[in-house]
Structure 1
Amino acid sequence: MSIKRNARHSIVEDVPIPRPLLATAKFDSPWEQTKWEKSLPRNDRVPYNHAAAASQKQHGGLNRSFSLSTRRVQRPAPVSRPQTNPPELQVWEEIGTPTLLAPRVQSPSRLSEKEPITPIKNAALSPTQLSRSSSRTQHSRQSSMHEAYEKAKARGVALHRKYWVRVLFEYAIYVVLILFVYFVLIGMPLWKGAVWWLYWVVAHKFVIQGGYAITIGLAALYAFLPLLILFEKDPPQKDEMSEVDLEKSAENAKTTALLIPCYKSANIIGPTLKAALEIFPPENIFVIANGNSETPLDNTEEVCQPYGVNHLWVPIGSKIVAQFAGCYAAKGFENVLLIDDDCALPPNFPIVSDRLKGQVKCIGYTIKSVGPNSSKGTYCQQAQDLEYKMSGLQRAFFGKLGSATFPHGAISIWNTDFLKQTFHEHPGFSVSEDWFFGDSCRRLGGRITMCSSVFVETETPSSVFISGSGSRGGFGEMTIFQQRFKRWNFFFVVGMYYDMKYILTSWKLGWWEIGAKLAVFQEVYETLIYLLAPFMLPISFIVRPAFSGMLLGVTIGMYIINVIIFNEIHLRLKKERIDWIVMIFYYTFYKIALTFINVFSCYWSLYKYARYFAKRHPKVIEDQQAIEVVLSLEQDTDSDFEEMTLRVAAPGVDSTRPASKRLTLTRVEPEYPQRRWPLTDDTTTSYPRDSWNKRMSWI
């Protein structure tokens, strides 16, 4: 079948606005005039070499890989262009319907000098979707980003603390902690501290049997209630899908962008992209590499080039900033799927964007732990596999009742506009950003549900304390201790404040709030247990050693029974059972070790808060550097290339397929041929119905 290539023509001319015509603009104040002049499009654009582009098309198509940096490139002087307008062309807008477009820009001689120009009103940084078919709307969007940038600069000045203030704050917190430990907890010999009074209450007033009955009862309730539901049925394999399933999958893939934030991921991003291309076309995939450097820290971009996907370099080492930039790079898509750089999507991965309706704004996916090359891995990785799957069932249960607390950070799908709104609510912390995404989502009135039909693979640490073998890169810690102690558990204590604030003040979910608050209260309950464990356990064993030992054994036995039921019923139905040796022997000691890690990490984080909060942390939309990244992306996609290139409808060419995106500042020449998706004469099958790999060709 012959492949007819689509010829893209720019229908937007770079026309400088004459000064006399600018003088006709009417403003209410000089401040408004200054803002409007900043919002005007730049006339020093990089000229687009049509001849070079045509030559490149003949030698392998257009490259989709670009780099993003806050450094501005040296722009040459503008090139004069003919002022003749192209004829009316039948094109396809991004919504997929044919329209007749008149010439978009008239020559200066055809503009009426008597008619005043109405300035575009600046608006706050809005998460609503903006049209790319109108240059006026583009200017308004740029103006909004400039206004957000100015607000971010002002906010940065307000939040900035001088060095001596930060040092004073940090050491003041250390002094307060020391005084609290001595005067409140110990007290001796001045007075009897809180620990002594806790011992006295347990020994004389507190009924240990009743106290432990309540504690174990709540633990059993939260452990066994999720077992009342089952995982969803497995989706059909690619070659077994019906026509309806294929059409639905293709439609969902067409409206969904895949965002992959990564850090030093050159050694692991390849398999991730290979698996992703089974589900998504390359123009829907955005690899957002990031790091605290003006230039990339590794060759992730070179690894991405043969796959033909979009690549951005964000010179800020923050996953949440990378996601923020990715949302605006992929703003032409209705939904975005966020995954980690080590997540391998299965070939029959369901894109459940059709479930994002009503109050459901985010859907998480159940995940599984694997070793290198999708192997079972070590006993530690298999124990994590059991832990992740149990957590997935628990979140699916609370998602049905109301809302899960948060989606797993490894993979989740969001409505794009709503995800942008969460950045207004997200506190901007670069640690535990996925937990705060869940908190922000619920505060804004969005439900979080789960898709449990597949288990998405993610490679996990291979040992608890001692670093072992593995291929984890970037921020991927090599041990459970480093992962949980230093990052995952960092906001356990502070999270209690956000959880209680949500329980007491947020009611936007209506009746769904009941289930959501039950899930949130579980987090508060577990954190309280971790904080009280160093005091209650020793005191209980001193007061009633035999009874306390028996209760501890009963608690461990209860969790073993819970794991056996889960493994033999739920995982057996999914054909994902864990080996008995791992489940009975290793998993028990693994959970005990995690308990100690969780307890000590809570107190370690209290110590680390002094330095962390000595510096104020702005929200992402208040972060000057983050706004600079998005503003740079906005300006250069609008000036150097059209972000959504309008496609000319030619006979035999599938015009419904989205155009490639031109992302950012610097064009990177491919070192080897680009892979292109062949277009067929059958416009009714705009997306392949069989495996994407089978439809791929090298040109």
Structure 2
Amino acid sequence: MSKYHARRHTMVEDVCVPKHLLSTAKFDSPWEMKKWEKSLPENDRVPYTLARSASQKQSSGLSRSKSLGGLARSASLSTLRVPKRPDATRPRSNPPALQLWDEFKQPVPLSPPLEQDEPITPIKEAAVHASPPMSANSSDTFASSQRSSMQDVYEKAKLRKVALQRKYWVRLLFEIGFYTFLILFIYFVLIGMPLWKGAVWWLYWVISNKFVIPGGWAILLGLAFLYAFLPLLILFEKDPPAVLVPTDADLEKQVSNAENTALLIPCYKSAQIIGPTLDAALKIFPAENIFVIANGNSETPLDNTEDVCRPYGVNHLWVPVGSKIVAQFAGCYAAKGFENVLLIDDDCALPPNFPVVSNRLTSSVRCIGYTIKSVGPESSKGTYCQQAQDLEYKMSGIQRAFFGMLGSATFPHGAISLWNTEFLKQTFNEHPGFSVSEDWFFGDACRRLGGRITMCSSVFVETETPSAVFFARGGSRGGFGEMTVFKQRFKRWNFFFVIGMYYDLKYIFTSWKLGWWEIGAKLCVFQEVYETLIYLLAPFVLPISFYVRPSFCGILLGATIGMYIVNVLVFNEIHLRLKKERIDWKVLILYYTFYKIALTGINVFSCYWSLYKYARYFAKRHPKVIEDEEAIGVVLSLEREVDSEIPTIQENVASTVIPQDADANRAYKRLTLTKVEAPPQTMDEFSHGPWV
């Protein structure tokens, strides 16, 4: 177990509570319990040694208890609250509190219970207004209704899978028809000769006879200038306070910011890199809030990620479906007791002063992205290529922050984003289910559902990036291996550039759920359409322009490059200097310009490569996540496994057995769900706070 996780038990879980109030007191956070306990006389408290003994084994929704007695013995004091309603936002359990404390052999002097005629204390008043504990029958009914609802979705997904299936000959005809259409379009529309004059000839005629080159470049430069320099009108947020040795108030604030947030880390073959990610995460989140969701197309895990997670005491899930979006979908339901979820990649290192800004999530702001930075191995600056990506990521962050203030960013960074849990579940109804560029489609679904996307720019979250543009230099990066920028962008990031224009235009003309915020949101979305059109037209417009007016076009091309260099210099010397994140001058002058020119070429050719690959990709229909039999099967398996591991507790200490549907079990892959427990720690390890 990580030392941070071990120390957290003392600070958060081990709260001494008088015995006669264990079954009546209600607290909304561990810190309310702690404050109340400190206000009691010394002889009214349970000794710390007994509290620590009760907290060594925790009982949570993901614990594997073999019997009811084991469940009761492993319950921590944080679970001894009056249960909330079934729609409460926090995980809950209701073990028999008095029975738990009677198991200890050491006698403890306790105060007598309060008389009936005494005035109601705040604690008793809380118990009066609290919802009564659910009986075994009511909890069974609630759980059964949830399982029944998910089972209905699963049955519909099976029918949907049959409806979406295409026979081999249909897929083959689709591919042939698509390629035939592309060939006919190229010849009859673009070329046309000798039958007629095609679009390329008419484009040459317009440029050479109507003298539209100056006007066209003026429009191009004007839009480029606005999109490049307007975001520089704002600054990054101030750094959060450094975490050194915080006071109790600071510690309570930090815990309260994270207590309603689950950290979801989808990963694939991440045993080599998940350790530092968890080390950093445990300085912010309790271990029980962290879910490592390993995935792959296999019934059994592909590597020893679970073994790496075991010492940290975090939740580990194995999802036997090789898809990041399915892993995120399963993670939302595994963490359904939490109000918010933070999605991060397996190579993201949260800074110690990372702010969980869940208070910014409102009825209109549904997603918050964070600014990120590129690093090399072990948080180093890395190669020139990685430093150039660092500058690129930071500029993207200020642009997203600017459009988030105007209305909404297009989408948060795929590396990290904060969501309201229930709203994120709703986005899966709108998400087309594509396993590529899933973060972009999350942003599109969020905006179409009426949710704004804003940014938190007070910190830069580290993420490791490829070390070279075209040729890798050895090593490995997670499950994808050592990627180059070319492979990353050409084959994955840019795959939906062209088809994304359809979704963007559809959003611009049909979606109005953000009210006045739509103006800023649509300006941001239009930038994507504008850039994609430039990439698509560049192979035609640039050669013709240089053929007709070579000197003029050369001057304007140089002016365009110069404008972007000035933009980068201003950003580096003002914005990044204030954040103490400046990029080296050598990278800025000698490397970054050529890096951006190479990226422009990659973007242009990737648009046409993706058009070629669309034939095979769309020949097979892709269901939404909520229509995917495997994805729904994973969630259904998750709910059944959790329910089967946690018996329903009654006054007579009985447990229920959840029946299994044999046909359904054969139809989907079983989810391996593990809550890894660490061995008890020594008293010395509990003597320090987790943020020292």
TM-score range, shorter chain: 0.7 to 0.9
CA contact (8 A) 1:367 1:392 kept: yes
Give the ranges of 4+ consecutive aligned residues of structure 1 lying more than 4 Å apart after TM superposition: 7-12, 50-58, 85-91, 97-103, 240-245, 642-646, 664-672, 674-680
Structure 2: runs of 5 or more not aligned: 1-47, 77-94, 102-125, 654-669
Correspondence 1:180 to 2:189: no
Give per-residue Cα distances to partners, 1:101-145, cap 9 Å, x unaligned: 668337xxxxxxxxxxxxxxxxxxxxxxxxxx8322211111110
Correspondence 1:105 to 2:103: no
Equivalent of residue 673 in structure 1, options 669, 676, 679: 679
Give per-residue Cα distances to partners, 1:27-67, cap 9 Å, x unaligned: xxxxxxxxxxxxxxxxxxx9933577799999xxxxxxxxx
Task: Name the counterpart of 1:482.
Answer: 487
Task: Name the counterpart of 2:210.
Answer: 205
Task: Name the counterpart of 1:376.
Answer: 381
CA contact (8 A) 2:136 2:650 kept: no
Task: Name the counterpart of 1:192.
Answer: 197
Distance in 1 between the 2:60 and 2:280 partners?
A: 37
Q: Give the letter aligned to residue 48 of structure 1.
A: K
Correspondence 1:553 to 2:584: no
Task: Name the counterpart of 1:366.
Answer: 371
The correspondence of residues 106-125 of structure 1 with structure 2, limited to 5 A, is none
Distance in 2 between the 1:305 and 1:552 partners?
A: 56
Over 3 Å counting, the alpha-carbon distance change for 1:348 and 1:206 in structure 2 is same
Matched residue SS, 2:52: coil
Over 3 Å counting, the alpha-carbon distance change for 1:538 and 1:245 in structure 2 is farther
Give per-residue Cα distances to partners, 1:506-538, cap 9 Å, x unaligned: 010000000000000000000000000000000
Equivalent of residue 6 in structure 1, options 40, 54, 69: 54
Distance in 2 between the 1:643 and 1:469 partners?
A: 53
Equivalent of residue 268 in structure 1, options 273, 288, 301: 273
Give per-residue Cα distances to partners, 1:313-336, cap 9 Å, x unaligned: 001100000000000000000000
Give per-residue Cα distances to partners, 1:384-441, cap 9 Å, x unaligned: 0000000000000000000000000000000000000000000000000000000000
Task: Name the counterpart of 1:255.
Answer: 260
Task: Name the counterpart of 2:222.
Answer: 217
Task: Name the counterpart of 1:401.
Answer: 406
Over 3 Å counting, the alpha-carbon distance change for 1:564 and 1:352 in structure 2 is same
Cα offset, 1:189, TM superposition: 2.0
Give per-residue Cα distances to partners, 1:267-307, cap 9 Å, x unaligned: 00010001100101100000000001111111111110011
Matched residue SS, 1:409: coil
Task: Name the counterpart of 2:447.
Answer: 442
Over 3 Å counting, the alpha-carbon distance change for 1:326 and 1:642 in structure 2 is farther
Matched residue SS, 1:593: helix
Task: Name the counterpart of 1:562.
Answer: 567
Cα offset, 1:11, TM superposition: 14
Equivalent of residue 237 in structure 1, options 238, 242, 248: 242
Equivalent of residue 168 in structure 1, options 165, 170, 173: 173
Matched residue SS, 1:338: strand
CA contact (8 A) 1:231 1:452 kept: yes
Cα offset, 1:622, TM superposition: 0.3
Task: Name the counterpart of 1:497.
Answer: 502
The correspondence of residues 526-537 of structure 1 with structure 2, limited to 5 A, is 526-537=531-542
Cα offset, 1:190, TM superposition: 2.1
Over 3 Å counting, the alpha-carbon distance change for 1:571 and 1:627 in structure 2 is same
Structure 1: runs of 5 or more not aligned: 13-45, 59-84, 92-96, 107-132, 649-663, 681-687, 695-699
Matched residue SS, 2:53: coil
CA contact (8 A) 2:475 2:482 kept: no
Distance in 1 between the 2:613 and 2:637 partners?
A: 35
Matched residue SS, 2:417: strand
CA contact (8 A) 2:318 2:673 kept: no
Distance in 2 between the 1:344 and 1:288 partners?
A: 17
Over 3 Å counting, the alpha-carbon distance change for 1:298 and 1:620 in structure 2 is same
Task: Name the counterpart of 1:692.
Answer: 690
CA contact (8 A) 1:89 1:101 kept: no
Matched residue SS, 2:619: coil
CA contact (8 A) 1:90 1:100 kept: no
RMSD over aligned Cα atoms:
3.2
Task: Name the counterpart of 2:339.
Answer: 334
Distance in 2 between the 1:457 and 1:353 partners?
A: 20
Distance in 1 between the 2:487 and 2:683 partners?
A: 42
CA contact (8 A) 1:364 1:448 kept: yes
Cα offset, 1:585, TM superposition: 1.5
> Larger RCO: Structure 1 or Structure 2 (Cα < 8 Å, ≥ 6 residues apart)?
1
Deviates more, 1:468-477 or 1:632-641: 468-477
Cα offset, 1:642, TM superposition: 5.9
Q: Give the letter aligned to residue 496 of structure 2.
A: F
Task: Name the counterpart of 1:48.
Answer: 66
Cα offset, 1:186, TM superposition: 1.3
Distance in 1 between the 2:275 and 2:60 partners?
A: 37
Task: Name the counterpart of 1:424.
Answer: 429
Cα offset, 1:246, TM superposition: 3.4
Cα offset, 1:470, TM superposition: 4.2
Q: Give the letter aligned to residue 189 of structure 2.
A: V
Over 3 Å counting, the alpha-carbon distance change for 1:512 and 1:505 in structure 2 is same
Correspondence 1:454 to 2:459: yes
Over 3 Å counting, the alpha-carbon distance change for 1:447 and 1:644 in structure 2 is farther
CA contact (8 A) 1:307 1:674 kept: no
Q: Give the letter aligned to residue 161 of structure 1.
A: R
Give per-residue Cα distances to partners, 1:537-557, cap 9 Å, x unaligned: 000000000000000000000
Over 3 Å counting, the alpha-carbon distance change for 1:634 and 1:450 in structure 2 is same
The correspondence of residues 45-124 of structure 1 with structure 2, limited to 5 A, is 48-49=66-67, 104-105=135-136
Please give the TM-score of this superposition, normalised by the length of structure 2.
Answer: 0.79
Over 3 Å counting, the alpha-carbon distance change for 1:501 and 1:87 in structure 2 is closer
Give identity over the alignment, percent.
Answer: 73
Please give the TM-score of this superposition, normalised by the length of structure 1.
Answer: 0.78
